[in-house]
Amino acid sequence: MEHNKINKVVVAGGGTAGWMAAASLAKLLGRTIEVVLVESDDIPTVGVGEATIPTLIQLHELLGINEQEFVSKVNGTFKLGISFENWRDVNEDYIHSFGFTGKDCWAAGFQHFWLKGQKLGLAKEFGQYCGELVAAQQNKFAVTPKQGLNYAYHIDAGLYAQFLRELAEEHGAKRVEGKIVDVNLNPDTGFIESVGLESAQIVDGDFFIDCSGFRALLIEQALHTGYEDWSHWLPMDSAVAVQTESLTEPIPYTRSIARDSGWQWRIPLQSRVGNGLVFCSRYLSDEDGKKLLMDNIEGAPINEPRVLKFQTGTRRKHWNKNCVAMGLSSGFIEPLESTSIHLIQRSITRLMQMFPYDGIREPDVHEFNSQMASEIENIRDFIILHYNVTNRSDTPFWRFCKSMDIPESLKHRIELFKQTGRVFKVPTELFGENSWTQVMLGQGLMPEQYHPIVNMMDEQELTSFLAGIDQYVTHLVAQLPSHQDFINHYCKAP
C-alpha cells in the first residue's frame, strides 16, 4: 500500500452523496486537506431519495447545521416511521416507527410482556405502546427537548444537495465543472492519479471519492472492483418516479403501499409529494409500471414520470486502492427502509475515523470494507424480511417472494423470533431489536412462546404495567400539535 501523505481529496460527482462527502470533509477535516468536487451540469442526479432515517440528525449536529434553516430550505417535513400497507396481506397495514415500544427488562424485551398480555386479553396492539407510532397515526409532531420523539425528515434531494454545496464551499471546498471522460492510473501501483475532463482539464489528487452514481466511473470502470449481485433475494430492478402537487396537509410518515408486482412510495413535502413505484421487470413492464403509478397518485403531476433501472447488490470492496465509493456507485439496496442516505453517511464517518493522512495502509482498508459489508448485509436481510415473511400469495410475484431461498443469517433470525420471541442486535447494525420486532410482528410472524421471566408478574401487575405505558403514550401524544401546525411555527418553507 502507498504511504504518501494525503493532501488533496477529489470527489467525483455531485448530488446528495458528493456534496455530503465534500461538506463533511471540508467542515471537519478541511484545515488539513484540500477538497475538490468535480461535477457536470449536463449530468442529472438521480435525486429520487426523499426519505431519511434518524441517524442523519447526528451528522447534522457534527456539521453544525441549524435544523430549522435546513428543513425550511429543503421544503422538508418530519418523519416518525413508515406505514406498510398491503404487505402482510391485502388490506392489512402496520407502521414501523422510529420509537421504542414499551419497556424492556434486563432479560427480555417488551414483546415478551406484550405476548402474555395478548394471550390473557389484556394488551392493545403492539404499536399502541410506542409514542412515535401513535403520534404518526394521529398526524401529530413536535421537536421537544425533554420527552423527545425519534424522528427523521422528508426532503427534496435536489435542494438538499444545494444546501450541502453552500456548506461545503463556505468551508473551502472547490467545485470544478466538467464531465469526467478519463481516469488516469499510476502504471506501477494502479492507484488513481487524476481524472480527465471533456474540456481536456486534468484534476489530480491523492485520494478519490466515487460519487458518480450507477456508472461507477472510478471504482468499477477504472479499478474493476467487482459487484456482488443480490437480485436473487431482492428481484426489484426498476422504479418509476413522479412528483405531484399536494392536496392535503403532509403526514409525519412515509407510505409504502404493496402492489401486485412491487410497491409504491408516497413521501409528503411541504409543497409537493414524491411518488414512485419499485417493481420487478419480470412481472411488470415499464409502460404498465408507469400506468399503475399514474393511476394511483393524488394531485396533478409536476413532472413527467421517469423510469430508473438498477441491480440490487454491493461493490465487492467499497474502498479499493485510493478510492472509496459512496452512494449509488457503492451498490444499491432498494429504498424500502430509506437507508440510502444513511449508508452514505456511514461511509463518510468511517472514512473520517480512518482517514489515511500519512498514506493508505492495508489494515485501514480491510477494516473499512469489513465494517461496511457487515452493515450492508444486515440491512439487506432486514429488507428481504419484508418480502419473505408475508401471508400474500395472490400474485406470481408474491408467491416467488414467499417461497424464495433467503440468506442463512436471516433464516436464523426468523426462526429465533418464531420459536422464542427473541431478537438480538448485531454490533454495527443499523436496525435495533425494536425495528426487527415491529416488522416481524407486522408481517404476521407471531412467536410461539414468551420469556418465562414475564411470569414473575401476576395478572394484576401485568395489567398495571401495560396500562402505565399506555397512559404515558396517550399523555405524550395529547400534548403534541398537529404536524402542519408545528411546521408552520418552526420551519415553514419560503
Enzyme catalytic residues? 79
- Helix-, strand-, coil-residue percentages of the chain, each rounded to 5: 40, 20, 40
The grid coordinates of residue 97 equal 416507527
Query: Helical H runs in 197-246?
Result: none
| Number of Cβ within a 10 Å radius of residue 145 | 5
CA of 102: how far to CAs of 131, 139, 168, 329, 473, in Å? 9, 21, 41, 39, 9
Q: Say if CB 212 and CB 180 are below 8 A apart.
A: yes
Q: How far apart are CA 176 and CA 127, in angstroms?
A: 49
Query: Helical H runs in 338-449?
Result: 340-353, 362-388, 396-403, 408-420, 433-442
Q: How far apart are CA 418 and CA 422, in angstroms?
A: 8
Three-state secondary structure call for residue 243: strand
| Number of Cβ within a 10 Å radius of residue 142 | 19
Q: Say if CB 233 and CB 406 are below 8 A apart.
A: yes
The grid coordinates of residue 152 equal 427523521
Q: Say if CB 254 and CB 273 are below 8 A apart.
A: no
Q: How far apart are CA 73 and CA 159, in angstroms?
A: 7
